[in-house]
A and B are shown apart, each in its own frame.
Chain A
Amino acid sequence: MTQALQQARDRFEFERARYTAVAEAVAADVEAVGRGLGIAVTTSGRAKTLDSFVKKAIVKEYADPWRQITDKAGARATVADLAQQRSLVEALASHWGARVLSVDDKAVELDIKTLAYSGVHLQIVVPRGDDDGEPDQCEVQVRTAAQDLWSVMSHQYLYKPLVEPPRATQRALWRLVALMEIVDEEVHRAVNQILDDPEFPQARLLRDAERVFYTLSTAQTDTELSLEVLRAVVAAVPTEERAGYTDTLTAFVADERNRLRQFYARFAPGGDLQGEARYALGTQAESVILLERAKSHRMLLADVLDGPAEQIRWLVAPLLALWGDPLPETLPT
């Protein structure tokens, strides 16, 4: 072991806990950016293990291992499909701005006749908050679920095997990567078809609503009515807000949780307004969206209820008034 490697190893051993913290913070940052896009991102952050650090320095014959090993901290983000991968990479690049040193799209870098791992890696600078020390770096790998599946497998059986598999076995494992590309393309095609479905926007809003509603009420929601109401008022959640609407709704519920629980208890079994037709929406999951909109976008909601959703204004207005955010009166035209 060279003196440079020995010094680098000792330093990494001493500072490794900090790199773990850096990696975890970056992973949390990635998750938050994904949430803002309405994308469910599975993240992890870790510092390189000490043995991997030393092994990499030896294999790559680094003269200055401390500087040349740039993945001492690493974060990984796994998303469902290629469109989400692209959106997340773009959002992360925009989020970190000048802190991004490089973006390596492995798929673009590959020879057209070569099949291999095709994730996207970003190398970023992470400023040191605790002192004036040199900024850290972190490698962020953004993968689809299929890319991740192949990567984990290949890492274990092709790159770092305990024993080298026979040629035929290696070939069998390598050709699996083609299947992963096909999976990603097929998922991408299917997702586009789903997004193009005219029922998708209200279905997604209902999913968001149900996630929070069932933490507040035990009432049974009528899904058909929910979709009918949301179809009518979907314009009250503008397109540009929909990706992050899960967070908007979650924040609203967090702010109003106790009041919401008391409110919904009135319409649930045993409540003083159980079964009152006037407050039929009190047992409906989509009502939580109406309450949130009445608080944050009262004029927009009123505009929608005076226009495309006029046929359900009579159903919505009593509930909002009882909640405490009555609609503005219909204005003379």
Chain B
Amino acid sequence: MDVSDLDLTTVMLHHVPQAGRSAKGEAALQLADVAVVLTAELRAFLVEKVRTALRNRARPVTEDVAAGSAVAAAIRAHLEGAPASRDLVATSKTLAQALHAAQPGNSPSGMVLVADVVIAGGHALLLAKLDIETGVAASTTVASGQTVVSIEIVPGLFVTDQTRVFKIALFAASGVLDGALHGQVVDAQMDGAGIANFFLQLLGCSLSQRSQELTEQFFDTTQNWLNSGAVSDPEVRAKLEIALITEMGNEARQINPMIFAATHVPTSLRDNFADALTAGGVSATSFKKELDLIQSRIKRVQIETISGVLVLAPPDKLSDGTVAVSNEGSGSVKINDGIKRVSGRGGR
């Protein structure tokens, strides 16, 4: 979903106290009855934060209608209602109460932001959970000819320039298809590879793409890009091919395509690679690495000869005879293939 023109029209904020068995319950909530008054600067600041989070970390989700989520039903009803009948105050209270009830016992206090949003000329609903922080502010005054710097603790900060700690769900009216919500979710609290289960359950949604599919998409798109001629230098291409195979085979449990790009792709090619990932529908955010669908393609059989020659080959090249291994005598390896390049390194 292109969020470049996303704008907030009406914003509700509710204070949700720290979770805990003793504190749970509607009575502990401080639910607002009116929308917050936003100055242009505040609106711009919030828009910045929401767009940045969605552009960089959003994962598509789809409602599981069978789950019968009350939150999903409330969001759908709000999106499908006529503009005149939309009651953001009531909808936002429902969502805040549900979120408070669903969040784990260790969740800190925070603000729930629910907003009517305009995106691509259509209506959407935004739900965000923002943690409250405490900071120290300084001010400078001049008294009796002396410049004095005073500092004070400022409680209740919930969006700062360093803020990444929030959850967002965005559902557009145009994304309600066959009675099910389709939207985007961000969870900056997770390490990037997922969305907190409680948040997905609250929304009655699941991630639209399984990790296996995301992994395959990333692998295929990167390989297609490497084969497309975008990387003209054969040495760079070889390094990237090795990096891709290594990325798939290493111990890391998640893949972040942007980190892969920043680590392995030369700066001059990085935008081209990012464009290819976007065109290939590859998530720009981290996802869990699941190799089930590409296992056979990333496998390399390693053959080491007596004299120390190392042969690495995909398994299908052994089965089709390109690499022939004979067990006669002390054994032999024969490679029936054309030579593309011979390169060497190091001295004697």
A299 within 8 A of B: yes
Query: Given A298-B274, A303-B267 in contact, is the A328-B56 Cβ separation under 8 Å?
Result: yes
Q: Which residues of B contact A332 (CB under 8 A)?
A: 259
Q: Which residues of B contact A278 (CB under 8 A)?
A: 41, 44-45
Instruction: Choose from B3, B4, B164, B270 the contact partner of A329 (Cβ within 8 Å).
Output: B164
Query: Given A299-B271, A321-B48 in contact, is the A331-B5 Cβ separation under 8 Å?
Result: no
Q: Which residues of A contact B44 (CB under 8 A)?
A: 273, 276, 278-279, 322
Query: Given A273-B40, A276-B41, A314-B161 in contact, is the A299-B270 Cβ separation under 8 Å?
Result: yes
Assign chain A's interface to a size class: 20 to 34
- In the assembled complex, the Cα of A323 lies from the Cα of B48 at a distance in Å of 8
Q: Which residues of B contact A273 (CB under 8 A)?
A: 40-41, 44
Query: Given A328-B56, A331-B258, A331-B262 in contact, is the A300-B51 Cβ separation under 8 Å?
Result: no
Assign chain B's interface to a size class: 20 to 34
Question: Which chain B residue has the least Cβ–Cβ distance from A293?
Answer: B271
Q: Which residues of A contact B161 (CB under 8 A)?
A: 314
Q: Which residues of A contact B259 (CB under 8 A)?
A: 331-332
B261 within 8 A of A: yes
CB of B272, distance to nearest CB on chain A (Å): 9
A326 within 8 A of B: yes
- In the assembled complex, the Cα of A240 lies from the Cα of B268 at a distance in Å of 11
Query: Given A238-B268, A299-B270, A324-B5 in contact, is the A329-B56 Cβ separation under 8 Å?
Result: yes
- In the assembled complex, the Cα of A323 lies from the Cα of B51 at a distance in Å of 10
Instruction: Choose from A272, A300, A325 the contact partner of B271 (Cβ within 8 Å).
Output: A300
Question: Which chain B residue has the least Cβ–Cβ distance from A299?
Answer: B270
A318 within 8 A of B: yes
B24 within 8 A of A: no
Residues of A within 8 A of B (CB): 238, 266, 272-273, 276, 278-279, 296-300, 303, 314, 317-318, 321-329, 331-332
For chain B, residues 123 to 152, give those with C-beta under 8 angstroms from any C-beta of chain A.
none
B317 within 8 A of A: no
- In the assembled complex, the Cα of A329 lies from the Cα of B57 at a distance in Å of 9
Instruction: Choose from A266, A276, A300, A327 the contact partner of B270 (Cβ within 8 Å).
Output: A300
Rank and list the top 6 A-B pairs by shortest CB-CB distance, nearest first.
A324-B4, A272-B40, A321-B48, A326-B52, A299-B270, A299-B271
- In the assembled complex, the Cα of A323 lies from the Cα of B44 at a distance in Å of 10
* B44, B45, B57, B258, most chain A CB atoms within 10 A: B44
B74 within 8 A of A: no
Q: A278-B45, A326-B55 are in contact. List 20 more A-B contacts (CB 8 A).
A: A238-B268, A273-B41, A279-B44, A298-B274, A299-B271, A299-B273, A300-B268, A317-B52, A318-B45, A322-B47, A322-B48, A324-B3, A324-B6, A324-B51, A326-B56, A328-B258, A329-B52, A331-B256, A331-B259, A331-B262
Q: Which residues of A contact B284 (CB under 8 A)?
A: 328
